Amino acid sequence: MNIAKPSRKLHYIFIILTVLTIVGIVLGLLFFTPKAATPSATTAVSTIKTTGQTKQEPEKPVVPSFDKKRLSTTDPSSLWVVVNKSHKITPAEYTPGDLSYTTNGVLVSGQILPDLNALIAAAGAKGVTLPIISGYRSYANQTTLYNNYVAQYGQAVTDTISARPGHSEHQLGLAVDLGTPSNPGCSLKACFATTAEGVWLATHAQEYGFIVRYTAENTDITGYDPEGWHIRYIGRELAAEMKSQNITSLETFFDISGGKVYAN
């Protein structure tokens, strides 16, 4: 008995120590293992994030979209102004402030001269002569022209071939009519489009910042019969953008109304 007592005590102490040790190990696992795992998990996540960001940076699309609002489509001095039967020039009797003479003495806006000269020179280099027949027309000149047409053909026909005063691109100084020395009988006529001059213009005018403004496919939008001889300056940037999008009318490009009927 005397021997057994201390032995039992030791036994109990051993059991208690063993339990405490097990509890200690369990607690240690609970508190220390997750703590060790958490930072490594965070590191892994941040590594993924960093890697993801690093990979995305060079892939970011850097495509500068064309800014259709960069220039006004209503200011008559703007290269992008849209004038048609739904949109008249404002003010109606606007006169360009920079009228200049072409080499053959036709008045146009000075904005168009360098590219107009370049276009004529480029055509000339290919054996295509493009005489300038008409450029700027004042509100008063357009009134006389329009009234003469009305007297000759009546208003309904006139409205398909000539702009009413305040609605002509010629008043902007940004449009010119070109001749066809190779086939004078087609001057200012629908068959201009089939002449060497008409074909060259339809193909190359855009390269110099011009568009053939009134084409057969755009009659309903522009409101005019085709005029292969009438080119309108819009600047090389817009001309190239319209070409790249295969859009041939300003109304379609800028989503601006047009049509054959006068709105005002």
Catalytic positions: 227
CA distance between the termini of the chain: 125
State which residue, 139 or 241, has the beta carbon closest to Zn ion: 139
Closest CB to Zn ion: residue number: 230
Q: How far is the CB of 163 from Zn ion (least distance, A)?
A: 9
Binding residues for Zn ion, rule: CB under 5 A, are 177, 230
State which residue, 189 or 241, has the beta carbon closest to Zn ion: 189
Place of tokens 């209503």: 74
State which residue, 149 or 241, has the beta carbon closest to Zn ion: 149
Q: How far is the CB of 103 from Zn ion (least distance, A)?
A: 19
State which residue, 88 or 230, has the beta carbon closest to Zn ion: 230
Stretch (H or E) spanning 58: helix 4-59
